[in-house]
Amino acid sequence: MVPRSRRPTAPLDAALIDIGLPDCDGYDVARRIRSTPHGKTAYLVALTGYGQPDDRRRAEAAGFDTHLVKPVDPSRPRTTHEDHRRRF
């Protein structure tokens, strides 16, 4: 469960979320963000060491817009987000 203090309370533009979190997984975090009014339009990026097709499908089903496999080039999340914003 995501603590109340960590739930978005203002518009959220984007979030980089690690799938392998210690207290809950990133899939749950993405679902919780998507369930809030402010999280419906946020750009969510999964950062993970898991890169199989099933892992990508699971990330998409949880509400992620992009699935990046570690190690990630530091410029990649920004470039991916900028590309996404241009489409909308």
The structural domains of the chain, ordered by start, are 12-87 (3.40.50.2300)
| Structure confidence at residue 12 (pLDDT) | 83
Give residue-wise pLDDT tens across range 33-72: 999 988 988 999 999 999 999 999 999 999 999 999 999 8
Pairing status of strand 43-48 against strand 66-69: parallel
Residue 66 CB burial class (10 angstroms; 0-12, 13-18, ≥19): buried
| Structure confidence at residue 83 (pLDDT) | 67
Q: Cα angle at 20 between 81 and 26, to 5 degrees?
A: 55
